[in-house]
């Protein structure tokens, strides 16, 4: 029998139309979207279903939207297939904002509180660095050691001034994302060409996530968790920052604050879930990015993703 881990996608998986088929087909999905709309006092679901895309990709909208989609899929699995995450999985995890979706799924936060926290997180991240001053780039065919070497070389500008350029995501499978000051990231892309990296490319993001430039956003989240602390989850998560099993609410809050500026250690998170006994990874929400990464990180495990009614029907046969 497969042993399941439930995983939840992060930023970059969003697309106009996300969740629309679910809302048409299932009352359980409509209830999640309505709760998020009511909590945030905005028609986020309409933005998800219809766009425009330039508004959906704003961080303050993308983050709660991806969470809403993931939790809608989970609620449909529960309502239509009797899937109880408590009995069907041993651990949960999410990539960046997806960690909040995972924590909501395992009872650490309500849907409403998760939506509020992610809205605040998105606003704070966008405000932390003036538009145009930060950037991120993907290094394809690089491991962490190579990425760290490239970042070290790219730190100093031509005048000898130190700038921020740091590993942001260790996604595994030869994919590392770096983040920091735009000019430093552009230098890192050029340096990569001399290091045998298969491809280095700037990413279309609105801020330099998961680097030290995000410190003001981390402070904002620390204040937020004083007002809305996590509860004890009924199932452990594997956290982005520690790449280890976590259940203590105070530690989870601390790790979520640190996550804003720290590297997302996704490769190690997957390995940790395998070490815990997971043999099957179930991705809930938009896209199939994480299940694709799992195939490269843990090729002996199975992975499946569900976002649409048809995919949910197929997944119910797996579960």
- State yes or no: is 95 an active-site residue: no
Q: What is the dihedral of CA 88, 91, 97, 98, to 10 degrees?
A: -30
Cβ neighbour number for residue 162 with a 10 Å cutoff: 10
DSSP bridge pairs for 281: 5, 303
Cβ neighbour number for residue 15 with a 10 Å cutoff: 16
Rounded CA gap, 109 and 115, in Å? 10
Q: What sections of the chain are H helices per DSSP?
A: 20-25, 27-40, 44-50, 53-56, 59-81, 85-88, 98-105, 111-128, 144-154, 182-192, 215-227, 249-259, 266-275, 289-297, 309-318
Catalytic residue among 192, 210, 280, 307: 210
DSSP label of 212: G
- State yes or no: is 96 an active-site residue: yes
Catalytic residue among 45, 96, 303, 307: 96
Rounded CA gap, 7 and 303, in Å? 10
Active-site positions read: 96, 210
């Amino acid at each position: 029998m497969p042993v399941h881990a439930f995983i939840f996608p992060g930023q970059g998986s969003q697309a106009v139309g996300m969740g629309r088929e679910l809302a048409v087909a299932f009352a359980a999905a409509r209830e999640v979207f309505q709760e998020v709309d009511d909590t945030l006092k905005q028609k986020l679901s309409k933005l998800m279903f219809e766009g425009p895309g330039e508004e959906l990709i704003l961080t303050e909208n993308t983050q709660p939207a991806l969470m809403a989609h993931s939790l809608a899929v989970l609620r449909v699995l529960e309502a239509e297939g009797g899937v109880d995450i408590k009995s069907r999985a041993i651990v949960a995890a999410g990539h960046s904002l997806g960690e909040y979706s995972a924590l909501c799924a395992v009872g650490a936060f309500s849907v409403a509180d998760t939506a509020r926290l992610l809205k605040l997180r998105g606003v704070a991240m966008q405000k932390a660095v003036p538009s145009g001053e930060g950037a991120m780039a993907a290094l394809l065919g690089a491991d962490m050691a190579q990425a760290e070497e490239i970042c070290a070389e790219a730190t100093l500008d031509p005048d000898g001034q130190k700038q921020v350029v740091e590993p942001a995501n260790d996604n595994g499978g030869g994919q590392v994302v770096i983040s920091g000051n735009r000019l430093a990231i552009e230098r890192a892309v050029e340096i990569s060409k001399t290091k045998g990296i298969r491809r280095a490319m700037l990413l279309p993001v609105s801020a330099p996530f998961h680097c030290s430039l995000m410190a003001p956003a981390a402070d904002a989240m620390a204040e937020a968790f004083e007002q809305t602390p996590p509860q004890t989850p009924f199932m452990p998560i594997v956290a982005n920052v520690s790449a280890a099993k976590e259940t203590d609410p105070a530690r989870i809050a601390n790790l979520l604050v640190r996550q804003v500026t720290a590297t997302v250690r996704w490769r190690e998170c997957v390995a940790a879930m395998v070490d815990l006994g997971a043999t099957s990874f179930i991705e809930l929400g938009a896209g199939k990015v994480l299940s694709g990464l799992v195939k490269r990180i843990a090729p002996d495990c199975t992975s499946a993703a569900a976002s649409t009614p048809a995919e949910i029907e197929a997944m119910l046969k797996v579960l």
